[in-house]
Structure 1
Amino acid sequence: MAHIRTYRPNVRVGNWREDVTLEEDSLKDFLERKERGELTVQKNVFIKQSILEQVHLSASQGVIQAPCGVSGGRDVQPCKRNAFIISSVDGSVEGEPLHYNQSFALRTTLGFAGGLYLTSDHQNFQKCAKKSRLQEVVMEQQANFLSWWKVLHNDPQDRLENEGLPVNANNKVIILHCKTNQALAVLRQHTLWTPFGKEYELTAHTFLDSHKAEQDVNHWLLLTTDPAGTELTQQDRSLTRATEIDTHGPLK
């Protein structure tokens, strides 16, 4: 009896049954979540496919949650995350031409983009842009005075002459926040890593040169499609590198 082996290599010891059960439960849970599309990788793919879906801009004339961060990107291909609707806030009829110094709101498209409004307010210790610490710009669900903007002529010397005239699409302009009187700016020296790659911080801050004129970081284009139905021209593309507004998901 002393030479009879009571243990063999294939004998399971300890909490082996519990470990096997846990592994089986984990696999079952993984497969169920995969079937429902709840895996993190599946959610990321869905968000990117939805928010980068191409949209068609107007001729010249699942939903993102708010508050949503914004950034400046280099890709000017119109899609749901960078196409905006100019909305009336002063009682003017929707569809009428936008005029210099006329208040308006910038809203994302409806549907997955959420219909959110570009919003800003005075910065303080707790509420400011992450990198530059300047005035924060975000997307909010509700429109109010904090989401009012106006367009100024690019040349300060021509602003009085152009006040009240229609804004021509695809020309350089200044986008000014009505409450704080700060101009929308994109800061290339402050980069952000978003789910869509390396992009640039947006803020509301007027950067003036020695001649008291806004610097390039405050220059914007209100782009529309070609009236004939074609998309942005090559000239438009060369002028608008790194000067588009992109949404990139809820703020944390």
Structure 2
Amino acid sequence: MASVQNYRPSVRVGNWREDVTLEEDSLKDFLHRKERGELRVQKSTALKQNILRPVSLTVSQDGFLRFGDTIMLVNSGGTKLDPRDPCSLSIIADLSNMSSSSELYLQGPCHVGGASSLTPCMRNAFVISSVDGTPDGEILRYEQYFGLRTTAGFGGVLHLASDHKTFQKCAKKSRLQEVNLVEQQDFLCWWRVLYFDPQERLEHDGYPVEVNSKVLISHCKTNQCLAALPSHVLWTPFGKEFEITAHTFLDSHKAEKDSNHWLFVTADPGKEEQVLPQRQQVPAINNGPGSNTKAIIAAGEDES
């Protein structure tokens, strides 16, 4: 029979002094952790408040993507034959990714997913960074190497990385090549932009990359393209999301499928408030050479 405590410390029976001391120490430890914000409920609240904090995207005046720009990376969604909503590359973080110091920030490695929310926040905002010494402000061109990192502050400046899949390291659902965010920037964090149409890809080599235009994002080491997989769903603390991997999906014409098509989304210079393209406006995106479209389409109440 399991032992049952018949008396409380106030009865003064047995080791009552030890029981009273343990209760006092537990209360002091709880109050001390509460003052420092180290309770689990406090950390969860701080994580959601900081990671969902609104972020101002870069305003592209000429329609070209530049190093140092703060952007959202949005998968363009499906086609009329295979419709699906677009998703944004987003950080998947939990309490294990929180720093233990007084200054809160994210620590790697962190997983990423495709979130249906297209509201700019710290979770889905990334900065175009240089990997070859190109200064900020320079135009990013097709086939040029670049990196994607999280915003400074709570983002912890993590870098998007990938590597060849192994039995121990691969995507959770699809078992394809894993994509995550790491603290150290090395060759695994190098990416390049490819023109989405393979028949015109060679002609666009070296041309400036336009915002809000379909592109492919290829990993330099493995030569696999970034992909969003709607058939593989992840349940995260932020809801249901698509799995993000590095894998090139080809159709019967040897062209990349829409799972590999991405948009570099920036702010609209004609609007004070940052709003994102709606589902019905995504197919209207201009993909022709020489187009100078804006990355954000106003979707205010006056346009609904």
Give the structure-1-normalised TM-score: 0.83
Distance 1:189 1:20 in 2: 56
Q: What code does the residue aligned with 1:191 have?
A: V
Q: What code does the residue aligned with 2:240 have?
A: K
Higher relative contact order structure (alpha carbons within 8 Å, sequence separation ≥ 6): 1
Specify the structure having the higher radius of gyration (Cα): 1
Structure-to-structure mapping, 1:44-55, within 5 angstroms: 44-55=44-55
Which of 236, 239, 252 is the aligned partner of 2:282? 239
Q: Does 1:26 align with 2:68?
A: no
Tell me if the contact between 1:116 and 1:140 (Cα under 8 Å) persists in the aligned partners. Answer: yes
Unaligned runs of 5+ in 2: 1-9, 65-103, 284-304
Deviates further, 223-232 or 144-153: 223-232
After superposition, the C-alpha distances for 1:200-251 in whole angstroms (9 at most, x for unaligned) are: 22110001111211112111110000123441344488539xxxxxxxxxxx
Q: Does 1:182 align with 2:224?
A: yes
Give the structure-2-normalised TM-score: 0.70
Post-superposition offset of 1:58: 0.5
Q: Does 1:127 align with 2:169?
A: yes
Distance 1:237 1:95 in 2: 32
Q: What code does the residue aligned with 1:121 have?
A: D
Distance 1:71 1:113 in 2: 16
Q: Does 1:101 align with 2:143?
A: yes
Give the secondary-structure state (helix, strand or coil) at the position aligned to 2:202: helix
Q: What code does the residue aligned with 2:50 have?
A: S
Give the secondary-structure state (helix, strand or coil) at the position aligned to 2:114: strand
Tell me if the contact between 1:76 and 1:237 (Cα under 8 Å) persists in the aligned partners. Answer: no
Which of 44, 63, 82 is the aligned partner of 2:105? 63
Which of 115, 124, 127 is the aligned partner of 1:82? 124
Q: What code does the residue aligned with 1:231 have?
A: Q
In the alignment, which residue of structure 2 is the partner of 1:164?
Answer: 206
After superposition, the C-alpha distances for 1:101-155 in whole angstroms (9 at most, x for unaligned) are: 1111111111110111111111111221122111111111122211111111122
Deviates further, 41-50 or 158-167: 158-167
Give the secondary-structure state (helix, strand or coil) at the position aligned to 1:115: coil
**RMSD of aligned Cα (Å):** 2.2
Q: What code does the residue aligned with 2:234 have?
A: L
Q: What code does the residue aligned with 1:98 have?
A: L
Give the secondary-structure state (helix, strand or coil) at the position aligned to 2:128: strand
Deviates further, 45-54 or 158-167: 158-167
Post-superposition offset of 1:184: 0.3
Number of residue equivalences: 231
In the alignment, which residue of structure 2 is the partner of 1:208?
Answer: 250
Distance 1:13 1:116, change over 3 A: same
Q: What code does the residue aligned with 2:211 have?
A: A
Q: What code does the residue aligned with 1:239 have?
A: V
Percent identical among aligned pairs is 63
In the alignment, which residue of structure 2 is the partner of 1:7?
Answer: none
Post-superposition offset of 1:16: 5.0
